Amino acid sequence: NILLTCMEDGISQKGGGRKNMLSCPTSKHVLELQKAVWPQLCADLRKRIVQDELSPTTRLTEAMLANFYDVSRQPVRDSLIHLMRDDLIEIWPARGSYVKPIDPVKTIGAQAICEATEVDVVEKLASKPNSDLVIDLRSQLSEQRKAAVGFPGKFMVLDHRFHRTLFKAALLEKAWGLLEALNIRLDRLRFLVRAEFPYAKLIHPPEQVLDYIRQHKSKSTIQARQTHNHKTPQTSPRDT
Protein backbone atom coordinates (compact mmCIF):
# COMPACT_ATOMS: atom_id res chain seq x y z
CA ASN A 1 0.00 0.00 0.00
CA ILE A 2 1.84 3.11 -1.27
CA LEU A 3 0.78 5.51 1.45
CA LEU A 4 2.26 7.97 3.91
CA THR A 5 1.03 8.30 7.48
CA CYS A 6 -0.83 11.59 7.77
CA MET A 7 0.69 13.32 10.79
CA GLU A 8 -0.22 16.96 10.23
CA ASP A 9 -3.56 16.77 12.03
CA GLY A 10 -2.18 14.68 14.90
CA ILE A 11 -4.94 12.10 14.71
CA SER A 12 -4.44 8.36 15.17
CA GLN A 13 -7.04 5.62 15.15
CA LYS A 14 -7.34 2.05 16.35
CA GLY A 15 -9.69 -0.79 15.83
CA GLY A 16 -11.93 -2.90 13.79
CA GLY A 17 -9.59 -5.27 12.02
CA ARG A 18 -9.08 -2.72 9.27
CA LYS A 19 -6.02 -0.61 8.57
CA ASN A 20 -5.73 1.27 11.85
CA MET A 21 -3.85 4.37 10.76
CA LEU A 22 -4.94 7.48 8.97
CA SER A 23 -2.97 7.59 5.77
CA CYS A 24 -2.44 10.03 2.95
CA PRO A 25 -1.65 9.67 -0.74
CA THR A 26 2.02 10.01 -1.59
CA SER A 27 1.78 13.36 -3.36
CA LYS A 28 -0.63 16.24 -3.19
CA HIS A 29 -2.94 17.10 -6.03
CA VAL A 30 -2.80 20.80 -6.89
CA LEU A 31 -6.33 22.17 -6.98
CA GLU A 32 -7.46 24.69 -9.57
CA LEU A 33 -9.01 27.44 -7.48
CA GLN A 34 -11.17 28.78 -10.30
CA LYS A 35 -13.00 25.43 -10.52
CA ALA A 36 -15.34 23.65 -8.12
CA VAL A 37 -13.35 21.81 -5.46
CA TRP A 38 -15.27 18.61 -4.81
CA PRO A 39 -15.12 17.25 -8.41
CA GLN A 40 -11.34 17.69 -8.32
CA LEU A 41 -11.07 15.87 -5.00
CA CYS A 42 -13.34 13.13 -6.27
CA ALA A 43 -11.30 12.66 -9.46
CA ASP A 44 -8.00 12.55 -7.57
CA LEU A 45 -9.22 10.09 -4.94
CA ARG A 46 -10.85 7.94 -7.63
CA LYS A 47 -7.54 7.78 -9.52
CA ARG A 48 -5.65 6.82 -6.34
CA ILE A 49 -8.14 4.05 -5.55
CA VAL A 50 -7.98 2.68 -9.09
CA GLN A 51 -4.17 2.74 -9.04
CA ASP A 52 -4.06 1.09 -5.60
CA GLU A 53 -2.42 3.99 -3.79
CA LEU A 54 -5.47 3.77 -1.55
CA SER A 55 -5.92 0.04 -1.13
CA PRO A 56 -9.06 -1.88 -0.15
CA THR A 57 -10.07 -1.36 3.53
CA THR A 58 -7.99 1.83 3.84
CA ARG A 59 -9.80 4.22 6.17
CA LEU A 60 -10.51 7.75 4.97
CA THR A 61 -11.74 10.54 7.21
CA GLU A 62 -13.02 13.99 6.42
CA ALA A 63 -10.49 15.53 8.81
CA MET A 64 -7.52 13.79 7.25
CA LEU A 65 -8.55 14.59 3.68
CA ALA A 66 -9.46 18.19 4.45
CA ASN A 67 -6.07 18.66 6.08
CA PHE A 68 -4.19 16.97 3.26
CA TYR A 69 -5.89 18.92 0.45
CA ASP A 70 -6.10 22.11 2.52
CA VAL A 71 -9.84 22.53 2.00
CA SER A 72 -12.94 22.63 4.19
CA ARG A 73 -14.81 19.45 5.09
CA GLN A 74 -17.84 20.15 2.88
CA PRO A 75 -16.17 19.45 -0.49
CA VAL A 76 -14.51 16.41 1.07
CA ARG A 77 -17.91 15.16 2.23
CA ASP A 78 -19.37 15.74 -1.24
CA SER A 79 -16.52 13.86 -2.92
CA LEU A 80 -16.89 10.89 -0.56
CA ILE A 81 -20.60 10.68 -1.30
CA HIS A 82 -19.89 10.51 -5.04
CA LEU A 83 -17.20 7.87 -4.53
CA MET A 84 -19.75 5.83 -2.60
CA ARG A 85 -22.14 6.14 -5.55
CA ASP A 86 -19.33 4.87 -7.78
CA ASP A 87 -19.12 1.87 -5.41
CA LEU A 88 -15.48 2.64 -4.58
CA ILE A 89 -15.93 3.32 -0.87
CA GLU A 90 -18.36 2.46 1.88
CA ILE A 91 -19.42 5.00 4.49
CA TRP A 92 -20.20 3.88 8.03
CA PRO A 93 -21.83 6.46 10.32
CA ALA A 94 -19.61 7.32 13.28
CA ARG A 95 -16.92 4.95 11.98
CA GLY A 96 -15.62 6.61 8.82
CA SER A 97 -15.23 5.72 5.16
CA TYR A 98 -13.32 2.74 3.80
CA VAL A 99 -12.08 1.82 0.34
CA LYS A 100 -14.14 -1.13 -0.87
CA PRO A 101 -12.58 -4.40 -2.03
CA ILE A 102 -12.95 -5.38 -5.68
CA ASP A 103 -16.10 -7.44 -6.21
CA PRO A 104 -15.36 -10.07 -8.92
CA VAL A 105 -19.02 -10.74 -9.69
CA LYS A 106 -19.85 -7.06 -10.14
CA THR A 107 -16.71 -6.57 -12.22
CA ILE A 108 -17.65 -9.35 -14.62
CA GLY A 109 -21.15 -7.91 -14.86
CA ALA A 110 -19.76 -4.45 -15.57
CA GLN A 111 -17.62 -5.84 -18.36
CA ALA A 112 -20.59 -7.61 -19.97
CA ILE A 113 -22.65 -4.39 -19.95
CA CYS A 114 -19.81 -2.29 -21.36
CA GLU A 115 -19.03 -4.77 -24.11
CA ALA A 116 -22.65 -5.24 -25.18
CA THR A 117 -23.17 -1.48 -25.36
CA GLU A 118 -19.96 -0.91 -27.30
CA VAL A 119 -20.93 -3.54 -29.89
CA ASP A 120 -24.02 -1.47 -30.74
CA VAL A 121 -21.99 1.74 -30.85
CA VAL A 122 -19.33 0.27 -33.15
CA GLU A 123 -21.98 -1.20 -35.46
CA LYS A 124 -23.65 2.20 -35.71
CA LEU A 125 -20.35 3.88 -36.58
CA ALA A 126 -19.40 1.14 -39.05
CA SER A 127 -22.65 1.71 -40.96
CA LYS A 128 -21.75 5.36 -41.64
CA PRO A 129 -18.24 5.94 -43.03
CA ASN A 130 -16.43 8.83 -41.34
CA SER A 131 -12.84 9.36 -42.48
CA ASP A 132 -12.21 12.11 -39.92
CA LEU A 133 -13.20 9.75 -37.09
CA VAL A 134 -10.92 7.02 -38.42
CA ILE A 135 -7.99 9.45 -38.55
CA ASP A 136 -8.71 10.64 -35.00
CA LEU A 137 -8.97 7.10 -33.62
CA ARG A 138 -5.79 6.02 -35.38
CA SER A 139 -3.95 8.96 -33.80
CA GLN A 140 -5.30 8.08 -30.35
CA LEU A 141 -4.20 4.46 -30.73
CA SER A 142 -0.70 5.64 -31.56
CA GLU A 143 -0.64 7.52 -28.26
CA GLN A 144 -1.96 4.47 -26.41
CA ARG A 145 0.82 2.27 -27.80
CA LYS A 146 3.42 4.64 -26.39
CA ALA A 147 1.64 4.91 -23.04
CA ALA A 148 1.26 1.13 -22.72
CA VAL A 149 4.93 0.77 -21.82
CA GLY A 150 4.94 3.62 -19.31
CA PHE A 151 2.93 4.59 -16.24
CA PRO A 152 -0.50 2.89 -16.38
CA GLY A 153 -2.41 5.99 -15.30
CA LYS A 154 -1.78 7.68 -18.64
CA PHE A 155 -2.85 4.60 -20.56
CA MET A 156 -6.15 4.50 -18.65
CA VAL A 157 -6.85 8.15 -19.44
CA LEU A 158 -6.17 7.59 -23.14
CA ASP A 159 -8.24 4.41 -23.20
CA HIS A 160 -11.21 6.23 -21.71
CA ARG A 161 -10.74 9.04 -24.24
CA PHE A 162 -10.81 6.50 -27.09
CA HIS A 163 -14.10 5.02 -25.93
CA ARG A 164 -15.60 8.42 -25.16
CA THR A 165 -14.77 9.42 -28.74
CA LEU A 166 -16.68 6.41 -30.05
CA PHE A 167 -19.78 7.22 -28.02
CA LYS A 168 -19.60 10.91 -28.91
CA ALA A 169 -19.34 10.11 -32.62
CA ALA A 170 -22.41 7.88 -32.26
CA LEU A 171 -24.25 10.76 -30.53
CA LEU A 172 -24.35 8.73 -27.32
CA GLU A 173 -22.01 10.72 -25.11
CA LYS A 174 -24.46 10.67 -22.20
CA ALA A 175 -24.50 6.87 -22.38
CA TRP A 176 -20.73 6.85 -21.98
CA GLY A 177 -21.13 8.97 -18.87
CA LEU A 178 -23.35 6.25 -17.40
CA LEU A 179 -20.80 3.56 -18.26
CA GLU A 180 -17.78 5.34 -16.79
CA ALA A 181 -18.47 4.10 -13.26
CA LEU A 182 -18.59 0.54 -14.61
CA ASN A 183 -15.31 1.04 -16.45
CA ILE A 184 -13.69 2.12 -13.19
CA ARG A 185 -14.30 -1.39 -11.86
CA LEU A 186 -12.43 -2.82 -14.84
CA ASP A 187 -9.59 -0.32 -14.43
CA ARG A 188 -9.03 -1.37 -10.81
CA LEU A 189 -8.72 -5.01 -11.81
CA ARG A 190 -6.53 -4.27 -14.83
CA PHE A 191 -4.16 -2.28 -12.65
CA LEU A 192 -3.79 -5.05 -10.09
CA VAL A 193 -3.07 -7.77 -12.67
CA ARG A 194 -1.02 -5.65 -15.07
CA ALA A 195 2.02 -7.92 -14.63
CA GLU A 196 0.07 -10.90 -16.01
CA PHE A 197 -2.00 -8.82 -18.45
CA PRO A 198 0.27 -5.95 -19.58
CA TYR A 199 -1.42 -2.93 -21.10
CA ALA A 200 0.31 -3.60 -24.42
CA LYS A 201 -2.07 -6.57 -24.82
CA LEU A 202 -5.08 -4.31 -24.28
CA ILE A 203 -4.24 -2.36 -27.43
CA HIS A 204 -5.43 -5.18 -29.67
CA PRO A 205 -9.22 -4.86 -29.07
CA PRO A 206 -9.28 -1.07 -29.80
CA GLU A 207 -7.28 -1.72 -32.96
CA GLN A 208 -9.95 -4.20 -34.03
CA VAL A 209 -12.66 -1.65 -33.23
CA LEU A 210 -10.95 0.74 -35.62
CA ASP A 211 -10.82 -1.99 -38.28
CA TYR A 212 -14.52 -2.75 -37.82
CA ILE A 213 -15.43 0.90 -38.32
CA ARG A 214 -13.10 1.33 -41.28
CA GLN A 215 -14.22 -1.91 -42.99
CA HIS A 216 -17.96 -1.56 -42.12
CA LYS A 217 -18.21 -4.88 -40.27
CA SER A 218 -21.57 -6.36 -39.25
CA LYS A 219 -22.76 -6.67 -35.65
CA SER A 220 -22.47 -10.48 -35.69
CA THR A 221 -18.83 -10.28 -36.79
CA ILE A 222 -18.05 -7.73 -34.09
CA GLN A 223 -19.66 -9.86 -31.39
CA ALA A 224 -17.86 -13.03 -32.49
CA ARG A 225 -14.45 -11.40 -32.56
CA GLN A 226 -15.06 -9.58 -29.29
CA THR A 227 -15.83 -12.87 -27.54
CA HIS A 228 -12.76 -14.53 -29.04
CA ASN A 229 -10.46 -11.68 -28.04
CA HIS A 230 -11.77 -11.23 -24.49
CA LYS A 231 -8.88 -9.49 -22.71
CA THR A 232 -9.99 -8.42 -19.26
CA PRO A 233 -9.09 -10.91 -16.49
CA GLN A 234 -11.99 -12.13 -14.40
CA THR A 235 -10.14 -12.85 -11.18
CA SER A 236 -7.98 -10.73 -8.98
CA PRO A 237 -4.97 -11.66 -6.86
CA ARG A 238 -6.56 -9.63 -4.09
CA ASP A 239 -10.35 -9.72 -3.94
CA THR A 240 -10.46 -8.76 -0.25
Ordered per-residue pLDDT tens for the chain, 240 residues: 333 233 233 223 333 344 433 444 556 667 887 889 999 999 999 989 998 889 899 999 999 899 888 899 999 999 999 999 999 999 988 788 999 998 888 888 988 898 889 888 998 999 888 999 999 999 999 998 888 777 777 888 898 899 999 999 999 988 988 888 888 888 888 888 776 666 656 666 788 888 888 887 766 655 555 553 445 555 554 544
How many Cβ atoms sit within 10 Å of the Cβ of residue 46? Answer: 22
In degrees rounded to 5, what are phi and psi of residue 83? -65, -35
**DSSP H or E segment with residue 93:** none
pTM: 0.72
How long is the chain? 240
* DSSP symbols for 154-205: HHHHHHHHHHHHHHHHTT-HHHHHHHHHHHHHHHHHHHHTTTTS-GGGGGHH
pLDDT the model gives residue 228: 38
pLDDT at 95: 83
* Amino acid 10: pLDDT: 29
Query: What sign has the CA pseudo-torsion 108, 111, 116, 117?
Result: positive
State residue 9's pLDDT score: 33
